[in-house]
Structure 1
Amino acid sequence: MKFSIQPLLLGSAVLVPAVSSAQSDALVQLAPVVVTATGNPTPASEVLAPLLVISRDEIERSQAGDLAELLRFYAGIELGRNGGPGQATSVFIRGGESNHTLVLIDGVRVNPATSGGAALQNIAPDSIERIEIVKGPRATLYGSDAIGGVINVITRAADASGSSLDASLRGGSFNTFDGSVRGAYAGERGSASLQVQHQNTDGFPALRGFDQDTGYERTSVNADGSLKLGAATIGAHLWDARGDVEYYGYDDNFNRAVVSQDYRNQVAALDATLPLAENLSATIAANRAQDRIEQKQSADFVETVRSGVNAALVWSLGEAQRITGGAGFVHEKVEALSFGSPIDQGRDITTLRLQDELRYGRHSAVIAGSYSDYQGFGSRFDGTLDYGFDLTSSTRLVASAATGFRAPDATDRYGFGGNPDLDPEKARNYELGLQQKLGENQRVDLRVFRSDVDDLINTVCDADFNCTAVNVEKYRNEGVELTYTLAWQQWSATLTGLVQDPEDRGTGEQLLRRAKQTAGLKLSRRLGIFDAGVDVIGSAKREDFGGVELGGYTLFNLTGGVRLGEHANLRLRVENLFDKDYQTAAGYDQPERSYYATLTFHY
């Protein structure tokens, strides 16, 4: 089945109601305050970078089982998943490599310092307040890996509305059970919240042609606290997810078989913000992140522990200018054992950055530069320039240029075929954009971009199977991206579309697991005590390893909910409504039509 972006884009025009600016007295504002694009709190309507925000309301309506399920209905965020719940998941933003997407939890990096990307499958949506996604390189703010984009998961914390108690129960297909309890306190001098969540599912046979289920279990804790001491504010944060997952690996005779592993992902952070003067403030933060996997059928394991401290000064010059200077130090430690080959390596990373946010009349700009020193390959400079010109009060033209990089990880340097002398992978991105407000309740963001990445790391083997990791490959992606958002009375909609050409510049072939066309629609409406929604994603065909072609597909999810009095809600979800047979990674099945119900309580 071939997928075309046009029917979905045209169909959305029928599904989404037409709204005129004359109805602005009933409109809902689309301008949350975000932090990921500039590192400072900024109204989303003023951000020049391509930005997508997934709100708490959208998260609750989706009833997704993990972060990957949440992200897959937005065009330009493609997933390669080895089966169902808990299975290894790769994310590709704007055609970038899977390790070119940086994932943060409350601003703290969770990507491992070994091969592969962050464990999206282990992040429970019930612990998330919102998700901020910024596309394109952001090395000046976040250093390595921020090439295709940055996904910042903002976890739930106590808010100013006061103390609360929440609980939820979710169950459905594949013997899935998900339970969560959360308590929050908010007072004049501080706040605190604690949430515990557990999920268990039998799953389904992840590998096509096999019949043994691959189960998954996760227990996660999310805790947050803040305290005001005079003019200063001190915050503490903890997120921890651990459990086990079954997957198709190999037995002692190298036959395909279900094996299992334990995992643990954790982020702990302590920060303090202190006003130094009327227009000058300082922030200092210390954090520690852990990513650990232990195989149950062998002694193999891999662990990344990253500890760091960051400091920043923010100087605000009225509404026209905000200058930020920052410095950071991180120690990264990797220990691993793979097929008898050990890795025990650490490296220090030092960063300096300077950013100037300007707004004069119809002109706005973000100018940033950074210096990074990575033990093992040396230093580099990166830059970002975003410029916006307000053509009218509702139309803004945007031009951007930015660089990024990915530092060689421990597997590249010391794993199979490792090479300690590797250079970083280097990226350049240029784009032009149009930000258009349609009244106060609708917005359109249109981008034309070009990304080039050089010195990609690949393992090259000779005839005797002597292998070495080298910087040999490069790719280019050119594309057009559209984001449309609506919040009007009882309607909410997000429409995303991407047409791109992700090309291996050495061979001229399409990059693996990346489609040239994707489109997504999320549409919902409230009807008194009821609400209903539809999520649609369409993807064109993709190539995979071994010359396998993965066919295009279109998926539909239906959601609905009803308020059960003042304190309870019941939500229902039908996933893969038309029971589409599709794959995002060759040989691995995706969920058939399935059903879920979620009961929530709030006091």
Structure 2
Amino acid sequence: MAHHLRLGVLATLFLTTAASAQETVELDPIIVSGGLTPVEAKKYGRAATVLTSEDLEARGTQYVADVLRQVPGLSVSRTGSFGGLTQVRLRGHEGNHTLVLIDGVDVAAPNQGEYDFGGLIAADIERIEVIRGPQSALYGSNAIGGVISITTKRAEEPGVSGRFGTEVGSDGTTQLDFALRARGERGELSFSAARRDTGGFDVSQTPGGGGDDDGDENKTYNLTGRLFLSDTVTIGATLRHTDRISDFDTFNFAAPTAAGLVTDSIANAEVQETFGSVFAEADLWGGRMSNRLTLSFADIDRQGRDGTGAKNQDNTGTRRKVAYQGTVALDAATLDAANHTLTFGAEWERLTYRENDPTVVFNPGQLIRQEREQTAYVLEYQGDFGNGLSTQISVRHDDNDKFRDFTTYAAGASYLLPNGTTRLHASYGTGVQNPTLIEQFGFYADFVGNPDLKPEQSEGWDIGVEQQFWDGRGIIDLTYFDETLTDEIGSRFDPVLNASVPVNNTGTSTRKGIEAAARLDVTDRLDLSLAYTWLDASEPVPGLFGGTRDAIEIRRPEHEISLGINYALPNDRTRLRLDATHVAGLYDSDFKTASFISGNPADDFDRVKLKDYTVVNLGFTHDINDRVQLNGRITNLFDENYEELEGYGTQGRTMYLGVSARF
């Protein structure tokens, strides 16, 4: 109650000091990753959220995962300190059900099919698009929950430009970031680099405060470029590399108490991620047809040390992909003038994974490189009927060398009513999720692979209404969704093998809920934003007396609401930002009990409810002049003590101050 009262006082303070002069920032009307070709937001049938670089700057947050917490339908969980494993879930799905693209490149770890957001710094991010609901009909496996597409910054004006930024803060945190960009008539080139170090805090919450702090060191480099060979032919490339070292504490299964789940240690993980692509684009038939050929790759190396400092991990995962895409105008001489287009494409992908060090494997078979391949074919139709109705329809067929082949479908529609302020949108889609390489082959001493696993399958639909009001100064979007997942992959403890084994759950997992997003420009200086999610997600688990029972899906809160307040001072140089997030109905697995080694499969699904919490962040930016900006923020303003995962501590109140300059 005290936290809510303090939040109310702060909100009232912002509201009562409102005056007039801030220029509001409108979202870009194009959703680049909504289809195989870009779609206007007002014509898009699926549920989507777009965050711009202005949104990231206003929040002042240095990690993308923390910006995503304000997106409806999305939940984030981090294992303690910055740099710890950070999972993002869409509409109650697993982390590996969300496809993550950076500059169009799939960045998920090949062994787990999931991207760890723990190392994604926001310094060079221009735009984030979050597409919710099954997207396999466009993107294949790993997209049954949705897609998060991230675009890095490019040169915005001809000539050479750049940026330099630095920040210092609590827990010995320092950051340096630098960007240099060039743009001319024949092409463009952008380079950025960032280094962030933090001493962190004791994730294990050692009684008496005697534990070691768990820090993180992150170095990220990004390079993109395009060359216009002619008016119709363009070539380009992207390259991104992240090198980080993250400390963490030991997790103890079957600890007698919550305090014993995570204990202080000197364990750490070193990760090197390299992603890239080379592409060529060509227009044909006077601009009526476009073509794009892309070769992309991902290489992820990971080394780890246990709580004693001994090496216990050394593995490598790779992805290689070749993709072709062509788009043709169906009703006009050029794509720019077309209301109806057809896109067709094909892609080939190979995934590999292996352990590298014979001294840390548990059997020689783990040193064998495991791999699998798949080929896919996709069609998408986009149509604008000129009467407010627009549609997107897609179908995709995947040929797998290890699993059953699948065909997935999706359709979306948007209708703008004659009043010009009310838009209806709806979508339907099916999805498929292949087992991960870890689930298929094992690789861990306490986790045995299952080559007989079936891919997970999903089906979902949503319907929503978007309403503008107050002469366009306000907008609210309300969406209801309903999704089912069959053959969900879980795990069972096998007492004979003394290890967990992945299995396809019997029955259907359900996910339904409501997503709401609203924005209101109260005055020219004050604007408000709101995001809310209600989620009902469950999975079938073995019953105590046979059959199955429904269990709450863990790490997905039932209720999550976020409030954002932006206020510009009368000097037109200083902007204040308050963010508050309230989380309720969050559960985790009850790892404290000895049931995890009892051999009773029903015991594997005990749940524990975590405490509801509210976190408030406060920040500012001040333009010293047209090119130099001062910024600062206080995170967890009221020093809330809470958990996102049982046993893992979260950061208390911290303060940061930074300065950036453009040239």
**Taking structure 2 as the reference length, what is the TM-score of the superposition?**
0.85
Out of 543, 551, 558, the position equivalent to 1:516 is 558
Out of 280, 288, 296, the position equivalent to 1:287 is 296
For residues 132 and 384 of structure 1, what CA distance do their matches in structure 2 show? 19
Counterpart residue number, 2:510: 476
For residues 520 and 342 of structure 2, what CA distance do their matches in structure 1 show? 33
How far off its partner does 1:492 sit?
4.3
SS at match of 1:203: strand
CA shift in 2, pair 1:308/1:519, >3 Å = same
Query: Where do 1:104-115 residues align within 5 Å?
Result: 104-115=101-112
Indicate yes or no: 2:394 matched with 1:368: yes
For residues 435 and 212 of structure 1, what CA distance do their matches in structure 2 show? 49
> Partner amino acid for 2:511?
N
For residues 42 and 116 of structure 1, what CA distance do their matches in structure 2 show? 27
For residues 64 and 620 of structure 2, what CA distance do their matches in structure 1 show? 20
CA shift in 2, pair 1:243/1:14, >3 Å = closer
> Going by fraction, where is strand more abundant, 1 or 2?
1
Counterpart residue number, 1:419: 450
Indicate yes or no: 2:149 matched with 1:152: yes
Indicate yes or no: 2:467 matched with 1:436: yes
Query: Where do 1:294-373 residues align within 5 Å?
Result: 294-296=303-305, 297-316=310-329, 317=331, 318-336=337-355, 339-341=361-363, 342=366, 344-360=369-385, 361-373=387-399
For residues 265 and 514 of structure 2, what CA distance do their matches in structure 1 show? 43
For residues 14 and 76 of structure 1, what CA distance do their matches in structure 2 show? 29
> Partner amino acid for 1:592?
G
Out of 448, 456, 464, the position equivalent to 2:480 is 448
**1:275-307: per-residue Cα shift (whole Å, max 9, x none)?**
112321111111111222111431522322101
Q: Percent identity?
A: 26
**1:158-213: per-residue Cα shift (whole Å, max 9, x none)?**
22354212100011001000001111111111111111111111100112336210
Paired residues of 1:306 and 1:330 also in contact (CA < 8 A): yes
For residues 474 and 82 of structure 2, what CA distance do their matches in structure 1 show? 35
Counterpart residue number, 1:594: 654
CA shift in 2, pair 1:191/1:116, >3 Å = closer
> Partner amino acid for 2:301?
R
**1:47-71: per-residue Cα shift (whole Å, max 9, x none)?**
2211111110121222223221221
How far off its partner does 1:405 sit?
1.7
For residues 55 and 459 of structure 2, what CA distance do their matches in structure 1 show? 33
> Partner amino acid for 1:154?
T
Unaligned runs of 5+ in 1: none
What is the RMSD computed on CA atoms of the aligned residues? 2.7
For residues 209 and 275 of structure 1, what CA distance do their matches in structure 2 show? 62
For residues 107 and 15 of structure 2, what CA distance do their matches in structure 1 show? 37
Unaligned runs of 5+ in 2: 253-261, 332-336, 542-548, 591-606
For residues 566 and 274 of structure 2, what CA distance do their matches in structure 1 show? 34
Counterpart residue number, 1:237: 238
Paired residues of 1:250 and 1:259 also in contact (CA < 8 A): no
> Partner amino acid for 1:560?
F
For residues 165 and 263 of structure 2, what CA distance do their matches in structure 1 show? 41
How far off its partner does 1:15 sit?
6.7
> Partner amino acid for 1:508?
D
CA shift in 2, pair 1:8/1:304, >3 Å = farther
For residues 640 and 245 of structure 2, what CA distance do their matches in structure 1 show? 28
Aligned length: 594
Q: Which is higher, the Rg of structure 1 or of structure 2? A: 2
How far off its partner does 1:396 sit?
1.9
Q: Answer with 507-516 or 297-306: which moved more.
A: 297-306
**Taking structure 1 as the reference length, what is the TM-score of the superposition?**
0.93
Indicate yes or no: 2:534 matched with 1:499: yes
Paired residues of 2:216 and 2:246 also in contact (CA < 8 A): yes
CA shift in 2, pair 1:14/1:375, >3 Å = farther
Q: Answer with 510-519 or 154-163: which moved more.
A: 154-163
Counterpart residue number, 2:424: 397
CA shift in 2, pair 1:516/1:283, >3 Å = same
> Partner amino acid for 1:240?
H
Q: Answer with 482-491 or 293-302: which moved more.
A: 482-491
Paired residues of 1:28 and 1:489 also in contact (CA < 8 A): no
SS at match of 2:214: coil
> Partner amino acid for 1:448?
Y
CA shift in 2, pair 1:565/1:363, >3 Å = closer
SS at match of 1:58: helix
Indicate yes or no: 2:586 matched with 1:542: yes
For residues 223 and 71 of structure 2, what CA distance do their matches in structure 1 show? 29
